[in-house]
Structure 1
Amino acid sequence: MADTYDFDLFTIGAGSGGVRASRVAAAHGAKLAVAEEYRVGGTCVIRGCVPKKMLVYGAHFAEDLVDAQHFGWTIGEKSFDWATLRDSVQQDVSRLEGLYGQTLGSHDVTIFNERATITGDHEITLASGKVVTARYILIATGARPFVPQFPGNEHVITSNEAFHLETLPKRILIAGGGYIANEFAGIFNEFGCKVTIANRSDTILRSYDASVRDRLLQISMVKGIAFLFHAEFEHIEKQADGTLLVTLSGQEPCEYDAVMVATGRVPNVEGLGLETIGVEVGKRGEIVVDAFSRTNVDYVYAVGDVTDRVQLTPVAIREGQAFADSVFGDREPYAVDHSCVPSAVFSHPPIAAVGMTEGEARNTLGNIKVYQSDFRPMKNVVAGRNERSLYKMIVDAGSDRIVGIHMIGPEAPEIMQAAAIAVKAGLTKADFDATVAIHPTMAEELVLFK
């Protein structure tokens, strides 16, 4: 396709969205180039959901080894070596990074392992000084952890650094109430760290259903995780022995061995040269796009976290696919439906959700029916654990359509993936009732609600 330009598409950022868009566009016959200044794979593969899930798997063994004894297994002396898990995870991250690079290479995509900046109309300049042109430019630079401003904030770590710690901290303070804070709290707690979560409000996981997030709070506290609410940083002082003296609003100063901030993520737009061609940026620094991921500059598009629409890897992938198909494919342009997106929190135990919470449904629909199942999984019964799961179904009373499902319990995300299809498809409570249960499973609770 390229004639007056060096490339049909130049993608800035080789994360999940950028890689998918580039691969698909190339398959449609476009001449492609991708610039990535860090590592191919982006946040998800390199320092996000993939290595995090590996740590979650590692953390689960802490309880599984104890529970195994109730199932007849004799467990000898056990110990945990953080360095072994950390290095194993990083080895697999490197493997995946290589596969992402191979995927681009197999589609004849030119990869520039350096920073790229928009320096003119259809023009990109690389850090090496090389200047190229492109018919279209796609920005897929993702987002990064937000670090609040306060005295001593240079001593904190974020989720980026958590994967590379030399040793595990005996005492760690995690600031934030979202999914990253609660996931790492569970991970570090299972590894034997004393974990404290400090949140500036009185609510964790505020976008999730109240019943589910309250259950996680109860379980986390039983597991030994401490919570400080209405607590914001005032200052951190690094002491002579390397410990951190942290002062939070409304709290006495307390010592920790590490402080991690998980207070949200901000789009990576600095230094991209957006102002050079007048690309519109929103209040949070996000690139403003329409339903088709197009910016106010007709040849510039953006997908993924940099647009701050739904900051989830599968959403970025769908946006990248839709962009490539719409711009370079032989089909009518189409937009990604950002409604009814399922999500999960890989806490201990995990949470999964799709659709409206009970509060949202009451405010939107008015007349609803709520079905709940509060039970102790069979494995927990045998293991002597009192930890209970909670499944919740929200139904539009007028149409019997299921508008939300919320779960906390073992394997909740795995179960939710299939359940989310039913909610997205608009199935009814009667459809679930007519489905024969698979027994004995936890998932059968979804078709046994009364």
Structure 2
Amino acid sequence: MKKLTIIGSGPAGYTAAFAAARAGHAVTLVESEAIGGTCLNSGCIPTKTFKSSADILDKFRHMGEFAITGSSQAAIDMARLLERKTSVIRLLAQGLEKSCAHLNVAVVRGRGHLVSARQVLVTARDGSVQPLDGDAVILAVGSRPMELSALPTDRCRILTSDDALNLDHVPASICIVGGGVIGCEMACIFRAFGAEVTVIEGQNRLLPLPAIDEEISKLLQREMKKAGIRVETGVTVSRAEVGDGIVRLHAAAGSARASVPLKLEVESVLVTVGRVPDTTGLGLDTAGVACDPRGWVQTDAFLETSVPGVYAIGDILGPEKIMLAHMAAVEAECAVANLGQQSVPCDYSLVPSAIFTTPEIGCVGLTEVQALALGRNVRCVRLHVRELGKAHAMGEIAGLFKLIVDAESETILGAHICGPHATDLVAEAALAIHMGASVEDVARTIHAHPTLAEGFGDLCRIARLA
């Protein structure tokens, strides 16, 4: 048994705490804010709570298409939505607190400061300092929104994603600077709420991430434009002026295709250009923990830092790893396993992505570009969501299933889905790739009809015959 201190209670921290407690370790969990971290309090859960309301609101506006009569003048009540968001967060936080109590995980409130693998100092809100002695430390403090010098946030007109989830009204117009995952999700949400939305992305496509197939990015951009979202790529914002109840953005086009005017006037600006490590006051320098030039903590394959006995997991590892809550949970279990005699390297080779845009996106494995760059001989097979009967019954026919198949072995290398419930559907593809399944294996698996899941089975049957 070891005496373990964990700093940070997000998905990385609480998963590590629960895994370590079940393994017989004595665990202390240090948290300076609300238990649950970014994911529960200002990320995954509140965003999906907003998205659920956005989806229902969109359905109401199209109720006539489903043979439902009555008023279709539905609108969002932001005050009640914030109450619901708080209720959902509180319920899940209470579950985490109960698990801590059940597993005898001690929760200490305050900001953790790393002295060594054997000691952490915790500063409470009242300024008192409590030393915690032990055998090992896991750092899981996460990240916070990145700010731009050209767009200093004021929590009123120029917002971070945290601020956007606390708005008490829907802005008449909003410009989202950054067309990554958070930016695109927020764009779809606020457009459904009734705002005029513009997305500005400096690169040449939305979701300019290696794990997102370019074909999927193009499909999403097309659907966002159909929804009335203005999308401008290859454009950067140079400065902003706030006054008279509006924000005037000055944008510079990096491409001849760009059509953004020199000035864009909106009620609010949402900056979603990335995240930075939330390590202020953590004491990494004095403790000797190595970081890269941007401040992300560096570890070996076993998630141990440059200080023996100090491990790091979750967002604090930065984009060179994978900044997703479910990956943080995997890292947590890996780090806990390595506290003992095991040496378990963390495997990043197959991590699904779930993006809650409209339509949703679920991706796992290699993209077409990645597979070709590795010199693989591949076939790409596609199936449009509109070919599924369930999609027509639901009234959601936009989307695509795309499969990357090894042309020689017929094994599945990657699956990229854009469409209704894509974030759920990607799980079968992840399992298939993990098990080394061929398209024949999936094609011979009976899929229920009429479902959306049969799209993956149909796609594999097409691949088998191609």
TM > 0.5: yes
Aligned counterpart, 2:339: 327
1:186 to 185, 188, 198: 188
| CA contact 2:390–2:452 (8 Å) conserved in 1 | no
| Inter-CA distance 408–31: structure 2 relative to 1 (3 Å threshold) | same
Aligned counterpart, 1:233: 237
Shift in Å at residue 270 of structure 1? 2.2
Aligned counterpart, 2:354: 344
Aligned counterpart, 2:199: 197
- Do residues 125 (structure 1) and 137 (structure 2) align? no
Return the structure number with greater relative CO, CA threshold 8 A, min gap 6. 1
| Offset from partner CA, 1:116-156 (integer Å, 9 cap, x none) | 11235622222122222221011000111111112654452
Aligned counterpart, 1:441: 451
1:110 to 102, 106, 109: 106
Pairs within 5 Å for 1:183-262: 183-207=185-209, 208-240=212-244, 242-250=245-253, 251-262=261-272
| CA contact 2:412–2:439 (8 Å) conserved in 1 | yes
Aligned counterpart, 2:92: 96
| CA contact 2:368–2:404 (8 Å) conserved in 1 | yes
Q: Which consecutive residues of structure 1, in runs of 5 or more, have no partner in the other structure?
A: 3-7
| CA contact 1:71–1:382 (8 Å) conserved in 2 | no
| Inter-CA distance 82–378: structure 2 relative to 1 (3 Å threshold) | farther
User: Alignment length, in residue pairs?
Assistant: 441
1:86 to 67, 70, 82: 82
- Do residues 373 (structure 1) and 373 (structure 2) align? no
1:399 to 388, 401, 409: 409
Partner SS, residue 235 of structure 2: coil
Shift in Å at residue 212 of structure 1? 0.9
TM-score by length of 2: 0.90
Shift in Å at residue 380 of structure 1? 6.0
| Inter-CA distance 105–382: structure 2 relative to 1 (3 Å threshold) | closer
Partner SS, residue 65 of structure 2: helix
Greater mean alpha carbon deviation, residues 348-357 or residues 317-326: 317-326
Q: Which amino acid aligns with 2:47?
A: K
Distance in 1 of aligned mates of 2:353 and 2:337: 25
Shift in Å at residue 383 of structure 1? 7.5
Aligned counterpart, 2:40: 45
CA RMSD of aligned residues (A): 1.8
- Do residues 13 (structure 1) and 23 (structure 2) align? no
Shift in Å at residue 27 of structure 1? 2.1
Partner SS, residue 276 of structure 1: helix
| Offset from partner CA, 1:276-298 (integer Å, 9 cap, x none) | 12110112211101121101111
Q: Which amino acid aligns with 1:214?
A: K
| CA contact 1:237–1:246 (8 Å) conserved in 2 | yes
Greater mean alpha carbon deviation, residues 107-116 or residues 347-356: 107-116
| CA contact 2:7–2:138 (8 Å) conserved in 1 | yes
Distance in 2 of aligned mates of 1:440 and 1:217: 28
Aligned counterpart, 2:258: none
Distance in 2 of aligned mates of 1:160 and 1:396: 42
Distance in 1 of aligned mates of 2:105 and 2:392: 54
Greater mean alpha carbon deviation, residues 370-379 or residues 275-284: 370-379
Distance in 2 of aligned mates of 1:158 and 1:151: 10
Aligned-residue sequence identity (percent) comes to 29
Distance in 2 of aligned mates of 1:276 and 1:391: 50
TM-score by length of 1: 0.93
Pairs within 5 Å for 1:297-312: 297-308=307-318, 309-312=321-324
Distance in 1 of aligned mates of 2:152 and 2:144: 20
| CA contact 1:365–1:396 (8 Å) conserved in 2 | no
- Do residues 292 (structure 1) and 302 (structure 2) align? yes
Shift in Å at residue 196 of structure 1? 0.3
Q: Which amino acid aligns with 1:195?
A: V
Q: Which amino acid aligns with 1:201?
A: Q
| Offset from partner CA, 1:73-101 (integer Å, 9 cap, x none) | 21325332122112111121122112212
Distance in 1 of aligned mates of 2:373 and 2:120: 48
Q: Which amino acid aligns with 2:165?
A: F
| CA contact 1:67–1:383 (8 Å) conserved in 2 | no
| Inter-CA distance 382–133: structure 2 relative to 1 (3 Å threshold) | closer
Partner SS, residue 181 of structure 1: helix
| Inter-CA distance 391–287: structure 2 relative to 1 (3 Å threshold) | same
Shift in Å at residue 182 of structure 1? 0.4
| Offset from partner CA, 1:247-273 (integer Å, 9 cap, x none) | 122432121111111111112222111
Partner SS, residue 134 of structure 2: strand
Partner SS, residue 5 of structure 2: strand
Aligned counterpart, 2:52: 57
| Offset from partner CA, 1:35-94 (integer Å, 9 cap, x none) | 111110011111111111111111011221233322322132533212211211112112
Distance in 2 of aligned mates of 1:179 and 1:404: 19
Distance in 2 of aligned mates of 1:130 and 1:25: 22
Distance in 2 of aligned mates of 1:93 and 1:403: 37
Shift in Å at residue 422 of structure 1? 0.4
Q: Which consecutive residues of structure 2, in runs of 5 or more, have no partner in the other structure?
A: 254-260
Aligned counterpart, 1:66: 61
Q: Which amino acid aligns with 1:226?
A: R
Q: Which amino acid aligns with 1:246?
A: L
Aligned counterpart, 1:136: 136
Partner SS, residue 364 of structure 2: strand
Distance in 2 of aligned mates of 1:82 and 1:338: 39
